[in-house]
Structure 1
Protein backbone atom coordinates (compact mmCIF):
# COMPACT_ATOMS: atom_id res chain seq x y z
CA UNK A 1 0.00 0.00 0.00
CA UNK A 2 2.84 2.42 0.87
CA UNK A 3 4.47 1.83 -2.51
CA UNK A 4 1.18 2.45 -4.35
CA UNK A 5 0.75 5.70 -2.42
CA UNK A 6 4.27 6.77 -3.40
CA UNK A 7 3.51 6.03 -7.06
CA UNK A 8 0.36 8.18 -6.89
CA UNK A 9 2.00 11.07 -5.04
CA UNK A 10 4.99 10.95 -7.36
CA UNK A 11 2.94 11.00 -10.58
CA UNK A 12 3.39 14.72 -11.34
CA UNK A 13 7.17 14.40 -11.01
CA UNK A 14 7.14 11.08 -12.91
CA UNK A 15 5.17 12.51 -15.83
CA UNK A 16 7.38 15.60 -16.12
CA UNK A 17 10.56 13.49 -15.96
CA UNK A 18 9.44 11.04 -18.64
CA UNK A 19 8.27 13.79 -20.98
CA UNK A 20 11.60 15.57 -20.59
CA UNK A 21 13.66 12.40 -21.15
CA UNK A 22 11.89 10.57 -23.99
CA UNK A 23 9.78 11.08 -27.08
CA UNK A 24 6.05 11.18 -26.46
CA UNK A 25 5.39 7.58 -27.54
CA UNK A 26 7.91 6.30 -24.98
CA UNK A 27 7.09 8.85 -22.29
CA UNK A 28 3.36 8.02 -22.05
CA UNK A 29 4.28 4.47 -21.02
CA UNK A 30 5.95 5.95 -17.90
CA UNK A 31 9.01 3.68 -18.00
CA UNK A 32 10.61 5.59 -15.11
CA UNK A 33 8.63 5.92 -11.85
CA UNK A 34 9.86 8.45 -9.29
CA UNK A 35 8.84 8.70 -5.65
CA UNK A 36 7.71 12.16 -4.53
CA UNK A 37 10.94 12.66 -2.55
CA UNK A 38 13.27 12.17 -5.52
CA UNK A 39 15.37 15.23 -6.42
CA UNK A 40 16.41 15.44 -10.09
CA UNK A 41 19.22 17.73 -11.29
CA UNK A 42 20.64 18.58 -14.72
CA UNK A 43 18.56 15.99 -16.61
CA UNK A 44 17.71 16.53 -20.29
CA UNK A 45 16.50 14.64 -23.34
CA UNK A 46 18.83 11.78 -24.23
CA UNK A 47 20.32 11.43 -20.75
CA UNK A 48 18.46 8.19 -19.98
CA UNK A 49 18.73 5.53 -22.70
CA UNK A 50 16.53 2.43 -22.62
CA UNK A 51 18.01 -0.69 -24.20
CA UNK A 52 14.82 -2.55 -23.33
CA UNK A 53 11.35 -1.82 -24.81
CA UNK A 54 9.64 0.84 -22.69
CA UNK A 55 7.08 -0.45 -20.22
CA UNK A 56 5.39 0.95 -17.12
CA UNK A 57 7.78 1.04 -14.17
CA UNK A 58 10.77 -0.42 -15.98
CA UNK A 59 12.90 1.76 -13.69
CA UNK A 60 11.74 2.65 -10.18
CA UNK A 61 13.54 5.20 -8.02
CA UNK A 62 12.75 5.77 -4.36
CA UNK A 63 9.58 3.66 -4.28
CA UNK A 64 11.25 0.88 -2.27
CA UNK A 65 12.50 1.77 1.22
CA UNK A 66 15.09 -1.01 1.20
CA UNK A 67 15.39 -4.16 3.28
CA UNK A 68 13.52 -3.72 6.54
CA UNK A 69 12.39 -0.26 5.45
CA UNK A 70 15.70 1.35 6.39
CA UNK A 71 15.64 3.89 3.56
CA UNK A 72 15.62 7.44 4.91
CA UNK A 73 15.87 10.91 3.41
CA UNK A 74 15.72 12.10 -0.15
CA UNK A 75 16.88 10.27 -3.23
CA UNK A 76 19.05 12.23 -5.68
CA UNK A 77 19.50 11.81 -9.44
CA UNK A 78 22.02 14.07 -11.15
CA UNK A 79 22.99 13.78 -14.81
CA UNK A 80 25.45 16.54 -15.67
CA UNK A 81 26.63 15.88 -19.23
CA UNK A 82 26.45 12.14 -18.58
CA UNK A 83 24.35 9.20 -19.76
CA UNK A 84 22.44 6.51 -17.88
CA UNK A 85 21.95 3.38 -19.99
CA UNK A 86 19.28 0.96 -18.75
CA UNK A 87 19.37 -2.68 -19.89
CA UNK A 88 16.22 -3.94 -18.18
CA UNK A 89 14.09 -3.76 -15.06
CA UNK A 90 15.87 -2.03 -12.17
CA UNK A 91 14.92 -0.78 -8.71
CA UNK A 92 16.80 1.87 -6.72
CA UNK A 93 15.76 2.30 -3.08
CA UNK A 94 15.08 5.54 -1.25
CA UNK A 95 17.95 7.48 0.29
CA UNK A 96 20.24 6.73 -2.67
CA UNK A 97 22.46 9.02 -4.75
CA UNK A 98 23.04 8.52 -8.49
CA UNK A 99 25.40 11.02 -10.13
CA UNK A 100 26.64 10.79 -13.73
CA UNK A 101 28.95 13.71 -14.49
CA UNK A 102 31.41 15.14 -17.01
CA UNK A 103 30.47 12.86 -19.91
CA UNK A 104 30.48 9.68 -17.85
CA UNK A 105 28.39 6.64 -18.81
CA UNK A 106 26.57 4.55 -16.22
CA UNK A 107 25.26 1.22 -17.56
CA UNK A 108 22.99 -1.03 -15.50
CA UNK A 109 21.67 -4.37 -16.78
CA UNK A 110 18.40 -6.13 -16.07
CA UNK A 111 17.15 -7.38 -12.69
CA UNK A 112 19.18 -4.83 -10.75
CA UNK A 113 18.30 -4.05 -7.15
CA UNK A 114 20.02 -1.27 -5.24
CA UNK A 115 19.26 -1.13 -1.53
CA UNK A 116 18.86 1.99 0.62
CA UNK A 117 21.81 4.37 0.78
CA UNK A 118 23.36 3.26 -2.52
CA UNK A 119 25.81 5.75 -4.04
CA UNK A 120 26.75 5.44 -7.72
CA UNK A 121 29.08 8.26 -8.78
CA UNK A 122 30.28 8.06 -12.37
CA UNK A 123 32.67 10.36 -14.20
CA UNK A 124 34.07 7.91 -16.76
CA UNK A 125 32.32 4.53 -16.99
CA UNK A 126 30.58 2.18 -14.61
CA UNK A 127 29.25 -0.99 -16.23
CA UNK A 128 27.01 -3.22 -14.11
CA UNK A 129 25.75 -6.38 -15.80
CA UNK A 130 22.58 -8.44 -15.16
CA UNK A 131 21.16 -9.84 -11.89
CA UNK A 132 23.22 -7.66 -9.56
CA UNK A 133 22.16 -6.96 -5.97
CA UNK A 134 23.53 -4.20 -3.74
CA UNK A 135 22.96 -4.32 0.01
CA UNK A 136 22.49 -1.09 1.95
CA UNK A 137 24.95 1.82 2.09
CA UNK A 138 27.25 0.69 -0.72
CA UNK A 139 29.44 3.09 -2.70
CA UNK A 140 30.65 2.80 -6.30
CA UNK A 141 32.99 5.54 -7.63
CA UNK A 142 35.14 5.52 -10.77
CA UNK A 143 37.05 8.67 -9.73
CA UNK A 144 38.57 10.26 -6.65
CA UNK A 145 36.31 13.30 -6.86
CA UNK A 146 39.19 15.79 -7.13
CA UNK A 147 42.34 15.90 -9.22
CA UNK A 148 45.74 15.23 -7.62
CA UNK A 149 48.82 16.60 -9.39
CA UNK A 150 52.57 16.06 -9.13
CA UNK A 151 55.11 18.87 -8.79
CA UNK A 152 55.09 19.33 -12.59
CA UNK A 153 51.34 19.85 -12.80
CA UNK A 154 50.55 16.44 -14.30
CA UNK A 155 47.52 14.67 -12.93
CA UNK A 156 48.37 11.40 -11.18
CA UNK A 157 44.92 10.09 -10.27
CA UNK A 158 43.05 9.57 -13.53
CA UNK A 159 39.52 8.12 -13.55
CA UNK A 160 39.23 4.39 -14.32
CA UNK A 161 36.36 2.21 -15.51
CA UNK A 162 34.53 -0.12 -13.12
CA UNK A 163 33.04 -3.40 -14.35
CA UNK A 164 30.74 -5.59 -12.27
CA UNK A 165 29.78 -8.92 -13.88
CA UNK A 166 26.57 -10.93 -13.93
CA UNK A 167 24.91 -12.23 -10.76
CA UNK A 168 27.09 -10.38 -8.27
CA UNK A 169 25.99 -9.63 -4.71
CA UNK A 170 27.64 -6.64 -3.04
CA UNK A 171 27.46 -6.84 0.77
CA UNK A 172 26.39 -3.96 3.01
CA UNK A 173 28.67 -0.92 3.30
CA UNK A 174 31.10 -2.24 0.68
CA UNK A 175 33.02 0.21 -1.51
CA UNK A 176 33.83 -0.41 -5.18
CA UNK A 177 36.41 2.09 -6.40
CA UNK A 178 38.01 3.04 -9.71
CA UNK A 179 39.70 0.27 -11.67
CA UNK A 180 37.70 -2.49 -9.99
CA UNK A 181 36.57 -5.57 -11.91
CA UNK A 182 34.32 -8.12 -10.23
CA UNK A 183 33.78 -11.31 -12.31
CA UNK A 184 30.46 -13.15 -12.56
CA UNK A 185 28.73 -14.94 -9.66
CA UNK A 186 30.81 -13.48 -6.85
CA UNK A 187 29.82 -12.13 -3.44
CA UNK A 188 31.61 -9.15 -1.94
CA UNK A 189 31.58 -9.29 1.85
CA UNK A 190 30.35 -6.73 4.38
CA UNK A 191 32.43 -3.52 4.46
CA UNK A 192 34.87 -4.88 1.90
CA UNK A 193 36.89 -2.61 -0.40
CA UNK A 194 37.44 -3.50 -4.06
CA UNK A 195 39.84 -1.31 -6.03
CA UNK A 196 41.56 -3.84 -8.28
CA UNK A 197 40.84 -6.60 -10.80
CA UNK A 198 39.54 -9.78 -9.17
CA UNK A 199 40.42 -12.94 -11.09
CA UNK A 200 38.01 -15.66 -9.90
CA UNK A 201 34.30 -16.44 -10.21
CA UNK A 202 31.95 -18.13 -7.72
CA UNK A 203 33.81 -16.81 -4.67
CA UNK A 204 33.12 -14.84 -1.52
CA UNK A 205 35.64 -12.01 -1.40
CA UNK A 206 36.41 -10.19 1.85
CA UNK A 207 38.83 -7.44 2.86
CA UNK A 208 41.81 -8.63 4.87
CA UNK A 209 44.85 -6.55 5.90
CA UNK A 210 44.89 -4.00 3.09
CA UNK A 211 43.83 -6.50 0.43
CA UNK A 212 40.77 -8.41 -0.73
CA UNK A 213 40.91 -12.18 -0.88
CA UNK A 214 38.70 -15.10 -1.89
CA UNK A 215 37.67 -16.45 1.51
CA UNK A 216 35.44 -19.18 0.06
CA UNK A 217 35.43 -20.70 -3.42
CA UNK A 218 33.02 -22.67 -5.59
CA UNK A 219 29.94 -21.01 -4.07
CA UNK A 220 26.60 -20.03 -5.54
CA UNK A 221 23.80 -17.80 -4.29
CA UNK A 222 20.11 -17.14 -5.00
CA UNK A 223 18.65 -13.75 -5.76
Structure 2
Protein backbone atom coordinates (compact mmCIF):
# COMPACT_ATOMS: atom_id res chain seq x y z
CA UNK A 1 0.00 0.00 0.00
CA UNK A 2 1.05 3.57 -0.63
CA UNK A 3 0.85 4.65 3.02
CA UNK A 4 3.01 1.72 4.11
CA UNK A 5 5.61 2.48 1.46
CA UNK A 6 5.94 5.96 2.96
CA UNK A 7 7.77 4.38 5.90
CA UNK A 8 10.72 3.87 3.58
CA UNK A 9 11.51 7.55 4.09
CA UNK A 10 12.16 7.07 7.83
CA UNK A 11 15.93 7.06 7.59
CA UNK A 12 15.97 10.33 5.72
CA UNK A 13 15.26 13.19 8.12
CA UNK A 14 14.47 15.55 5.27
CA UNK A 15 11.58 13.44 4.01
CA UNK A 16 10.47 11.68 7.20
CA UNK A 17 8.32 14.53 8.50
CA UNK A 18 6.58 14.92 5.14
CA UNK A 19 6.06 11.17 4.79
CA UNK A 20 4.61 10.86 8.29
CA UNK A 21 2.31 13.83 7.71
CA UNK A 22 0.83 12.16 4.64
CA UNK A 23 0.60 8.82 6.44
CA UNK A 24 -1.16 10.35 9.43
CA UNK A 25 -3.78 12.06 7.26
CA UNK A 26 -5.24 8.58 6.80
CA UNK A 27 -4.51 7.19 10.25
CA UNK A 28 -5.54 9.78 12.88
CA UNK A 29 -9.00 10.96 13.88
CA UNK A 30 -8.59 14.00 16.13
CA UNK A 31 -11.36 15.69 18.14
CA UNK A 32 -10.45 18.80 20.10
CA UNK A 33 -13.11 20.34 22.37
CA UNK A 34 -11.19 22.96 24.31
CA UNK A 35 -8.60 25.70 24.06
CA UNK A 36 -4.81 25.83 24.24
CA UNK A 37 -4.45 22.11 23.62
CA UNK A 38 -1.18 21.08 21.96
CA UNK A 39 -0.95 17.91 19.88
CA UNK A 40 2.36 17.09 18.20
CA UNK A 41 3.08 13.89 16.30
CA UNK A 42 5.14 15.05 13.34
CA UNK A 43 7.61 12.33 12.43
CA UNK A 44 5.52 9.56 14.04
CA UNK A 45 3.43 7.01 12.12
CA UNK A 46 -0.13 6.59 13.37
CA UNK A 47 -2.81 4.32 11.95
CA UNK A 48 -6.42 3.61 13.00
CA UNK A 49 -6.04 5.76 16.09
CA UNK A 50 -8.51 8.14 17.73
CA UNK A 51 -7.42 11.15 19.77
CA UNK A 52 -10.16 12.96 21.71
CA UNK A 53 -9.63 15.95 24.01
CA UNK A 54 -12.43 17.41 26.14
CA UNK A 55 -10.79 20.19 28.14
CA UNK A 56 -8.10 22.84 27.89
CA UNK A 57 -4.35 23.35 28.33
CA UNK A 58 -3.53 19.71 27.61
CA UNK A 59 -0.45 18.42 25.79
CA UNK A 60 0.19 15.34 23.65
CA UNK A 61 3.59 14.67 22.12
CA UNK A 62 4.43 11.52 20.17
CA UNK A 63 8.10 11.18 19.34
CA UNK A 64 9.89 10.82 16.04
CA UNK A 65 9.69 7.40 14.34
CA UNK A 66 7.18 6.00 16.82
CA UNK A 67 4.37 3.74 15.56
CA UNK A 68 0.84 3.72 16.98
CA UNK A 69 -1.73 1.32 15.55
CA UNK A 70 -5.31 0.64 16.67
CA UNK A 71 -5.00 2.93 19.69
CA UNK A 72 -7.15 5.52 21.42
CA UNK A 73 -6.14 8.54 23.49
CA UNK A 74 -8.86 10.17 25.59
CA UNK A 75 -8.26 13.28 27.68
CA UNK A 76 -11.06 14.61 29.89
CA UNK A 77 -10.16 17.63 32.01
CA UNK A 78 -7.47 20.27 32.02
CA UNK A 79 -3.69 20.40 32.26
CA UNK A 80 -2.87 16.79 31.36
CA UNK A 81 0.39 15.78 29.70
CA UNK A 82 1.06 12.72 27.53
CA UNK A 83 4.60 12.16 26.27
CA UNK A 84 5.55 9.18 24.10
CA UNK A 85 9.23 8.90 23.24
CA UNK A 86 10.99 8.14 19.99
CA UNK A 87 10.97 4.77 18.18
CA UNK A 88 8.15 3.31 20.28
CA UNK A 89 5.79 0.65 18.92
CA UNK A 90 2.36 0.75 20.54
CA UNK A 91 -0.56 -1.40 19.39
CA UNK A 92 -4.11 -1.97 20.62
CA UNK A 93 -3.69 0.41 23.55
CA UNK A 94 -6.08 2.81 25.29
CA UNK A 95 -4.57 5.78 27.10
CA UNK A 96 -6.89 7.98 29.17
CA UNK A 97 -6.92 10.85 31.66
CA UNK A 98 -9.59 12.28 33.95
CA UNK A 99 -9.77 15.10 36.53
CA UNK A 100 -6.83 17.53 36.15
CA UNK A 101 -3.04 17.66 35.78
CA UNK A 102 -2.34 13.98 35.14
CA UNK A 103 0.85 12.86 33.44
CA UNK A 104 1.82 9.78 31.45
CA UNK A 105 5.34 9.41 30.11
CA UNK A 106 6.49 6.51 27.91
CA UNK A 107 10.21 6.28 27.23
CA UNK A 108 12.06 5.78 23.94
CA UNK A 109 12.02 2.38 22.20
CA UNK A 110 9.29 0.95 24.42
CA UNK A 111 6.92 -1.58 22.85
CA UNK A 112 3.35 -2.33 23.94
CA UNK A 113 1.25 -5.16 22.53
CA UNK A 114 -1.99 -4.14 24.20
CA UNK A 115 -2.76 -2.14 27.34
CA UNK A 116 -5.12 0.16 29.20
CA UNK A 117 -3.19 3.00 30.80
CA UNK A 118 -5.19 5.35 33.02
CA UNK A 119 -4.11 8.46 34.93
CA UNK A 120 -6.67 9.90 37.31
CA UNK A 121 -6.70 12.32 40.23
CA UNK A 122 -3.67 14.26 39.00
CA UNK A 123 -1.19 11.40 39.39
CA UNK A 124 1.61 10.35 37.05
CA UNK A 125 2.57 7.14 35.31
CA UNK A 126 6.18 6.92 34.18
CA UNK A 127 7.19 4.03 31.94
CA UNK A 128 10.90 3.93 31.17
CA UNK A 129 12.95 3.34 28.03
CA UNK A 130 13.20 0.03 26.17
CA UNK A 131 10.37 -1.58 28.13
CA UNK A 132 8.43 -4.50 26.66
CA UNK A 133 4.76 -4.85 27.52
CA UNK A 134 2.81 -7.86 26.33
CA UNK A 135 -0.99 -7.73 25.87
CA UNK A 136 -4.03 -7.41 28.14
CA UNK A 137 -2.12 -5.20 30.58
CA UNK A 138 -3.74 -2.60 32.84
CA UNK A 139 -1.97 0.29 34.56
CA UNK A 140 -4.03 2.59 36.84
CA UNK A 141 -3.29 5.33 39.37
CA UNK A 142 -6.77 5.28 40.90
CA UNK A 143 -9.66 2.97 41.76
CA UNK A 144 -12.05 5.59 40.30
CA UNK A 145 -14.42 5.14 43.25
CA UNK A 146 -14.13 5.72 46.99
CA UNK A 147 -13.89 3.32 49.91
CA UNK A 148 -14.97 5.07 53.12
CA UNK A 149 -13.98 4.12 56.66
CA UNK A 150 -16.96 3.85 58.99
CA UNK A 151 -14.71 4.81 61.90
CA UNK A 152 -13.79 8.31 60.72
CA UNK A 153 -15.82 8.75 57.49
CA UNK A 154 -12.60 9.32 55.51
CA UNK A 155 -11.57 7.81 52.22
CA UNK A 156 -9.10 4.93 52.52
CA UNK A 157 -8.14 4.24 48.87
CA UNK A 158 -6.37 7.39 47.71
CA UNK A 159 -4.73 7.57 44.29
CA UNK A 160 -0.96 7.29 43.90
CA UNK A 161 1.79 7.57 41.28
CA UNK A 162 3.25 4.64 39.34
CA UNK A 163 6.88 4.31 38.33
CA UNK A 164 8.18 1.61 35.98
CA UNK A 165 11.91 1.77 35.32
CA UNK A 166 13.98 1.25 32.19
CA UNK A 167 14.13 -2.12 30.41
CA UNK A 168 11.21 -3.68 32.30
CA UNK A 169 9.27 -6.62 30.85
CA UNK A 170 5.58 -6.89 31.79
CA UNK A 171 4.11 -10.28 30.91
CA UNK A 172 0.63 -10.95 29.58
CA UNK A 173 -2.32 -9.86 31.76
CA UNK A 174 -0.26 -7.96 34.34
CA UNK A 175 -2.03 -5.43 36.55
CA UNK A 176 0.05 -2.47 37.75
CA UNK A 177 -1.86 -0.55 40.40
CA UNK A 178 -1.44 2.77 42.20
CA UNK A 179 1.73 2.99 44.27
CA UNK A 180 3.71 0.47 42.22
CA UNK A 181 7.43 1.06 41.81
CA UNK A 182 9.26 -1.40 39.54
CA UNK A 183 13.04 -1.15 39.30
CA UNK A 184 15.15 -1.27 36.14
CA UNK A 185 15.70 -4.55 34.27
CA UNK A 186 12.95 -6.40 36.11
CA UNK A 187 10.45 -8.98 34.80
CA UNK A 188 6.84 -9.17 35.98
CA UNK A 189 5.37 -12.59 35.20
CA UNK A 190 2.08 -13.61 33.57
CA UNK A 191 -1.01 -12.38 35.41
CA UNK A 192 0.88 -10.73 38.27
CA UNK A 193 -0.54 -7.79 40.22
CA UNK A 194 1.91 -5.14 41.44
CA UNK A 195 1.06 -2.38 43.91
CA UNK A 196 4.32 -2.06 45.86
CA UNK A 197 8.08 -1.82 45.32
CA UNK A 198 9.88 -4.38 43.17
CA UNK A 199 13.67 -4.07 43.37
CA UNK A 200 15.78 -3.70 40.20
CA UNK A 201 16.87 -6.88 38.41
CA UNK A 202 14.09 -8.96 39.97
CA UNK A 203 11.64 -11.56 38.69
CA UNK A 204 8.25 -11.12 40.39
CA UNK A 205 5.13 -13.27 39.98
CA UNK A 206 1.75 -13.81 41.63
CA UNK A 207 -1.12 -11.80 43.09
CA UNK A 208 0.05 -9.82 44.92
CA UNK A 209 3.41 -10.03 43.16
CA UNK A 210 6.40 -11.22 45.14
CA UNK A 211 10.03 -11.51 44.11
CA UNK A 212 11.07 -15.07 43.21
CA UNK A 213 14.51 -14.38 41.74
CA UNK A 214 17.06 -11.60 42.11
CA UNK A 215 20.12 -10.55 40.12
CA UNK A 216 18.46 -11.21 36.75
CA UNK A 217 18.00 -9.27 33.54
CA UNK A 218 16.41 -10.08 30.18
CA UNK A 219 16.78 -9.59 26.43
CA UNK A 220 14.35 -9.48 23.53
CA UNK A 221 16.53 -12.01 21.74
CA UNK A 222 15.63 -15.69 22.22
CA UNK A 223 18.91 -17.35 23.23
CA UNK A 224 19.25 -21.09 22.70
CA UNK A 225 21.13 -23.19 25.26
Q: Normalized against structure 2, the TM-score is what?
A: 0.74
Q: Which runs of 5+ in 1 are unaligned?
A: 63-73
Which of 66, 73, 76 is equivalent to 2:72? Answer: 76
Q: How does 1:1-223 map to 2 (within 5 A)?
A: 4=4, 10-14=24-28, 21-22=38-39, 30-36=42-48, 38-42=49-53, 46-49=58-61, 55=64, 57-58=65-66, 60-62=67-69, 75-80=71-76, 81=78, 82-94=80-92, 96-102=93-99, 103-116=101-114, 118-123=115-120, 124-151=123-150, 152-198=152-198, 200-207=199-206, 210-223=207-220
C-alpha contact (below 8 Å) 1:14/1:32 kept by paired residues: no
Deviation at 1:88, TM superposition (A): 2.9
Comparing both chains, which one has the higher relative contact order based on Cα–Cα distances under 8 Å and sequence gaps of 6 or more?
Answer: 1
Instruction: State the Cα deviation string for residues 31-61 of structure 1 (Å, max 9, x = none).
Output: 343213x2222166751146xxx63x33x22
**Which has the larger strand fraction?**
2
Q: Do the aligned partners of 1:47 and 1:84 also contact (CA within 8 Å) in 2?
A: yes
Count of residues in Structure 1 that have an aligned counterpart in Structure 2: 195
User: Highest Rg: 1 or 2?
Assistant: 2
TM-score by length of 1: 0.75
Tell me: CA distance 1:179–1:5, structure 2 relative to 1, closer, same or farther (3 Å): same
Q: Which runs of 5+ in 2 are unaligned?
A: 7-19, 32-36, 221-225
Report deviation, 1:101.
Answer: 2.2
Aligned-partner Cα distance in 2 for 1:183–1:61: 26
1:103-149 per-position Cα deviation (integer Å, ceiling 9, x unaligned):
21001111111113x11011111011111110011110111021222
Q: What is the CA deviation profile of residues 152-182 of structure 1, one whole-angstrom value per residue up to 9, with x for unaligned ones? A: 5422211100000111000000100000000
CA contact (8 A) 1:106 1:125 kept: yes
Q: Secondary structure at the match of 2:197?
A: coil
How many Å separate the matches in 2 of 1:205 and 1:143? 22
Over the aligned positions, Cα root-mean-square deviation in angstroms equals: 3.0
Structure 1 residues 46, 145: CA separation in 2 closer, same or farther (over 3 Å shift)? closer
Q: Give 1:2 shift.
A: 10
